[in-house]
Structure 1
Amino acid sequence: MSRKSVNFQSNLYDLCTADPEIIDIMISLGFGHIAKPGMLQSAGRFMTIPKGAAMRKIPIEEIVQAFKDRGYEVIA
């Protein structure tokens, strides 16, 4: 089984389009606004995970660990 990966330099729209499970992970971390209609298609096109973490004041280490716990390789 190949390991899933998430590139933190890619925008949220591209990440979530390629792997919808990322939406659930982000919501569980406090990024519920990406589930609102239109948010992923608009802000998600320029927002990266590190930018969102900084805006929401969520430690990037917490986000990295959440992805690792779900079997993802994190590409910074």
Structure 2
Amino acid sequence: MEEKIIDFEVPINTLAQQYPDFVDTMYSIGFTKIKVPGMLGTVGKIINLKKGSRAMGIPLETIAKAFEERGYQLKNYDK
């Protein structure tokens, strides 16, 4: 099985293309705008998880926990 790694410094568009469950995971923790048509193809190309966390007011710990629970390893995650 392929190792799943979430890098907090990679644009969310890239992560969404790499992992089919990425968008649903993000949506489930409060990133509701991620499903707005065109959002991933525009803003998603420049926003990474760290910037998105600040912009949406969702703690990095919440993001990290959600992905760890789904079997992901974390990269460039500093609390």
Q: Check whether TM > 0.5.
A: yes
Secondary structure, in 3 states, of the residue corresponding to 1:39? Answer: coil
Q: Distance in 2 between matches of 1:20 and 1:64?
A: 17
| Aligned twin of 1:64 | 64
Deviations 1:19-62 (A, max 9, x none): 12110110001111111110000000000011011111111011
| Aligned twin of 1:47 | 47
Q: How many percent identity over aligned positions?
A: 36
Of Structure 1 and Structure 2, the greater helix share is in: 1
| Aligned twin of 1:27 | 27
| Aligned twin of 1:12 | 12
Secondary structure, in 3 states, of the residue corresponding to 2:74? Answer: strand
Letter in 2 for 1:45: K
Structure 1 runs of 4+ with >3 Å offset = none
The offset of 1:12, in angstroms, is 0.6
| C-alpha RMSD of matched pairs (Å) | 0.9
TM-score by length of 1: 0.93
Unaligned 5+ runs, structure 1: none
Letter in 1 for 2:3: R
Q: Distance in 2 between matches of 1:21 and 1:13?
A: 13
2:33 aligned with 1:37, yes or no?
no
Unaligned 5+ runs, structure 2: none
TM-score by length of 2: 0.90
